[in-house]
Amino acid sequence: MKLIYRYLCLALGALLGTGCDHGTFEPDYGSPQPEYGVPTGSIVVSGVVQDAEGGGIEGIEVELAEAGLDTTDVLGRFSIERQSIFLPCLAGNDICAILARDIDGAANGSYADGSADLELQQTEPGQGSWDLGTFEDTDVTIVLDPEREADEERP
């Protein structure tokens, strides 16, 4: 009976994700400790999407993950502005990148997807421990290459 009870506890423990450690628990103070809340900040990103000759491209969807998206105007300009959002790249050492994709098809020419790394600068300090402040990059340029036609890709 004792053996059945042990196997039942083992199976239940595995199912619920519990475990045993015969050593002593020593917290790792060198790693981040879980806390209540999430650090947030405000972000302002604007710029232009261009072709190889430097002309603005209309109808390109520009997206900053977790912060939103915008579609370029006739001159290829875009702007994304959000307040109090969590961006993993602001809280850590990750690089923030912005993505661009052609959503209007061949209307203004067909372009391959592109991206650019942001060089965010803090323009306003945070207010408290969870407010990271305001970060901006208002001079982003994304250059898109035209997509090759299916016939051109064949040897």
**Fold adopted by 40-148:** Immunoglobulin-like (2.60.40)
Tokens of 20: 């045993």
Write down the pTM of the prediction: 0.68
- Residue linked to tokens 């912005």: 98
Question: Residue 70 corresponds to which amino acid?
Answer: D
Tokens of 46: 């604007």
How does pLDDT run across 78-123, given as a tens digit for each residue?
999 998 888 877 766 678 899 999 988 777 788 999 999 999 898 9
For the ranges 117-121, 128-132, 149-153, the maximum mean pLDDT occurs at: 117-121
Contact 45, 98 (CB under 8 A): yes
- Residue linked to tokens 């035209």: 146
